[in-house]
Amino acid sequence: MSETVDYDELLTRYEPALGLEVHVELNTSSKMFCGCVNEFGGEPNTHVCPVCLGLPGSLPVINGKAVESAIRIGLALNCSIAPWCRMARKNYFYPDMTKNFQTSQYDEPIAFDGWVDLEVDGQTYRVEVERAHMEEDAGKATHVGGSGRIQGADYSLIDYNRAGVPLIEIVTKPIRGTGAKAPEVARAYVAHLRELMKALGVSDVKMEQGSLRCDANISLAPLGSETLGTRTETKNVNSLRSVERAIRFEMTRQAAVLDGGGKIKQETRHFHESDGTTSAGRSKEEAEDYRYFAEPDLMPIAPGRAWVEELRATLPEPPAERRARLQSEWGFTDIDFAAVVNSGALALVEETVAAGASPAAARKWWVTELARRANEEGVDLDELAITPSQVAAVQALIDAGTVNDKLARQVIDGVLAGEGEPAEVVESRGLVVVSDEGALGAAVDEVIAANPDVADKIRAGKVQAAGALIGQVMKAMRGQADAGKVRELILAKLT
Amino acid sequence: MGLTADDVARLAALARIQLTEQDCAELAPELDVILESVASVSEVARPDVPLATHAIPMSNVFRADVVTASLTQTQALSGAPEEEDGRFRVPQILSED
């Protein structure tokens, strides 16, 4: 465990700078350079062919749809699109690629010089995008023996199903001036990209499956310093919450090193979900030399202006306009709307409303009840095992009087526990609200008989005392009584 | 040009080619001749000569996004020196570099 210093205190002396690299797996039907299916999982080494296995004599051909997605992503990030660019070989020796190189782009990215605007706690931050380039994903290595990590493993097993899946890597310029908000800005940036990719329809953006991955570069410099400090790169931070935690931790760790008169080592670090810390990986002190060169087996890519403009016309509504439209459609205050956006629930609320719930009800479930559960489980909202249409169905059960708020929470428990659709959970758990006068009447009579003093007060005109009796009836009925009906019955019997 | 034995040793290390000191010393002047020949081409190429990395000036050679048959696991692993659980088995990976 590394030494850390107090977060608020370190900000009185240091200024953080961020650099974020986000990898987005495209959801094309086939891989980047061959016709193998682009699908998560599958039996090991069954989505492979001579091209993605790099067998001698095989030749790659670029997937046109992947280029189209890359251009649309570039345009959505307000980037310029290169009129001519090439793929390049990034040479390295690691068995996650059979070819001993990854086909990527080097000094000629397809998209460059873009920006996105983010809103965090009422303030707008502009993040400049340096580049978005095309490349292929690598295979998946499983390390056997030792602790299951690379270090100490006896040997490794490789599944190349993922090798050759089209990837877009989006790299920011250094993000400065965020101060204490650095972790939140980083999270907002990744959330923004995820929303954007979803709207573009170019990726599944499932962070838990690795179709959107973030590497976070963080450095600290003395407050007011012109130059950037030495950075570390925390790899594969795989949820929005982890992005925030990893950066926050790394800032406190680096501050402790600097305070102790030490130097930050330029290195790769690994984030640990379990305790929110990072640990040292590979040292990057020696500049990496991948001996990049232009890929001789692939022809250059030259997106003509007409094609680019055609693709521009397919872009979805820009995020800022979309937010403004949704806020006005839903009639939310700025505070309520910001809560939706910052909890990463915008698309979820939108889909819940589309499934029939009122905007207020959709917001209530996602931003309070479900956000609390996501937090308890340490996952992002959209990783919860409940869909927007199921949330809308729960609300419909409340609106129909089938369940009350309290029972609805139990319905949600059931859905999250995998017990089926909301209606099935109501059925199997027997959660229907009892508004039948016979059943309720008996419970009300018992409670009145057990509390003669309270009953007398109500008879004497103190109607508000009925609350105590209602509570007891609810308790007796294990929360399944229709509270309005119980009140009516009590008053009818006593006044 | 002046390619040194140290340059050759560094390139060999990057490419994982095992060379002795003597190999490096011998290769340096030989490779230097090749580099000089290539450099002489640059003298002819003026800034108005477009960059060419391919013999045929083609671009936008794309395939349609259509799924084609993959190999079976048995076929995929048929050339593997070692395999386990349907995966390629590779020796201990000492570092990510």
Judge whether residue A2 has pLDDT over 70. no
Q: Cα–Cα distance between A283 and A269 in angstroms, integer?
A: 9
Residue A2 domain flag: no
pLDDT tens per residue across span A71-112: 999 999 999 999 999 999 999 888 999 999 999 999 999 999
For residue A108, the model assigns a pLDDT of 96
ipTM score of the complex? 0.88
**Do A413 and A461 belong together in one domain?**
no
- Chain B interface test: which of A68, A92, A299 (most B C-beta within 10 Å): A299
Judge whether residue A146 has pLDDT over 90. no
For residue A328, the model assigns a pLDDT of 96
Q: Higher model confidence: residue A295 or residue A401?
A: A295
Q: Cα–Cα distance between A391 and A386 in angstroms, integer?
A: 7
Q: Cα–Cα distance between B34 and B30 in angstroms, integer?
A: 7
The residue count of chain B comes to 97
For residue B94, the model assigns a pLDDT of 63
Residue type (1 letter), A244: E
Range(s) of the domain holding residue B20: 1-36
Using DSSP's 3-state secondary structure scheme, residue A42 falls into: coil
Whole-number average pLDDT of chain A: 91
Q: Is A166 exposed, middle or buried (0-12, 13-18, 19+ CB in 10 A)?
A: buried
The residue count of chain A comes to 495
Judge whether residue A284 has pLDDT over 80. no
Q: Please indicate whether, in this complex, the C-beta atoms of A30 and B16 are within 8 angstroms of each other.
A: no
Residue B1 domain flag: yes
| Number of domains into which chain A is organized | 3
Strands A111-120 and A80-81: antiparallel
Q: What is the pLDDT along chain B (97 residues), one digit of tens a residue?
A: 589 999 999 999 888 899 999 999 999 999 999 999 988 888 888 888 877 778 888 999 999 999 999 999 999 999 999 999 999 999 877 654 4
Please name every residue paired with A91 in a beta bridge, in sequence order, or none if there are none: A101
Q: B86 vs chain A: nearest CA distance in angstroms?
A: 6
For residue A172, the model assigns a pLDDT of 98
Last residue of a domain, which of A311, A337, A362?
Answer: A311
Give Cα A296 to chain centroid, integer Å. Answer: 38
For residue B1, the model assigns a pLDDT of 56
Q: Please indicate whether, in this complex, the C-beta atoms of A294 and B53 are within 8 angstroms of each other.
A: yes
**Do A209 and A120 belong together in one domain?**
yes
**In chain A, pLDDT over 90 holds for what percent of residues?**
64
> Which two structure tokens, joined as six digits, stand for A195?
């929303």
For residue B96, the model assigns a pLDDT of 47
Q: Are A278 and A257 in contact (CB under 8 A)?
A: no
Last residue of a domain, which of A251, A285, A311?
Answer: A311
Q: Please indicate whether, in this complex, the C-beta atoms of B62 and A61 are within 8 angstroms of each other.
A: yes
Judge whether residue A1 has pLDDT over 70. no
Q: Using the structure block, give the residue that is written with the tokens 């129909």.
A: A400
For residue A289, the model assigns a pLDDT of 84
pLDDT tens per residue across span A314-340: 999 888 888 899 999 999 998 899 889
Picking from A355, A372, A354, A362, the residue whose alpha carbon sits closest to that of residue A336 is A362
Residue A426: pLDDT band by 50, 70, 90 thresholds?
confident
**Do A55 and A116 belong together in one domain?**
yes
**Do A304 and A412 belong together in one domain?**
no
Q: A170 vs chain B: nearest CA distance in angstroms?
A: 22
Q: Which helix (H) or strand (E) holds A307?
A: helix A305-312
> Which two structure tokens, joined as six digits, stand for A381?
């909202």
Q: Please indicate whether, in this complex, the C-beta atoms of B76 and A48 are within 8 angstroms of each other.
A: yes
Residue B3 domain flag: yes
Residue B20 domain flag: yes
> Which two structure tokens, joined as six digits, stand for A383?
């990783």
**Do A14 and A146 belong together in one domain?**
yes
What CATH number should be reported for the domain holding residue A460? 1.10.10
Using DSSP's 3-state secondary structure scheme, residue A91 falls into: strand
Q: Cα–Cα distance between B94 and A152 in angstroms, integer?
A: 8
Range(s) of the domain holding residue A449: 437-494
**Do A353 and A467 belong together in one domain?**
no
Least confident of A103-117, A274-288, A362-376, B49-63: A274-288
Q: Please indicate whether, in this complex, the C-beta atoms of B68 and A49 are within 8 angstroms of each other.
A: yes
Query: B59: nearest CA in chain A?
Result: A300
Judge whether residue A133 has pLDDT over 60. yes
Q: Cα–Cα distance between B75 and A45 in angstroms, integer?
A: 9
- Chain B interface test: which of A96, A156, A235, A283 (most B C-beta within 10 Å): A156
Query: B96: nearest CA in chain A?
Result: A94
Q: A290 vs chain B: nearest CA distance in angstroms?
A: 8
From the list A49, A144, A155, the residue facing B71 with the nearest CB is A49
**Do A121 and A192 belong together in one domain?**
yes
Residue A434: pLDDT band by 50, 70, 90 thresholds?
confident
Residue A18 domain flag: yes
> Which two structure tokens, joined as six digits, stand for B27?
């290769």
Q: Higher model confidence: residue B65 or residue A1?
A: B65
Q: In what order do the strands lie in the sheet with A101-104?
A: A101-104, A88-91, A293-294
Please name every residue paired with A237 in a beta bridge, in sequence order, or none if there are none: A214
From the list B58, B71, B73, the residue facing A44 with the nearest CB is B73
Last residue of a domain, which of A284, A311, A338?
Answer: A311
HEC-encoded secondary structure of A250-316? HHHHHHHHHHCCCCCCCEEEEEECCCCEEEEEEECCCCCCCCCEECCCCCCECCCHHHHHHHHCCCC
Q: Higher model confidence: residue A480 or residue B68?
A: B68
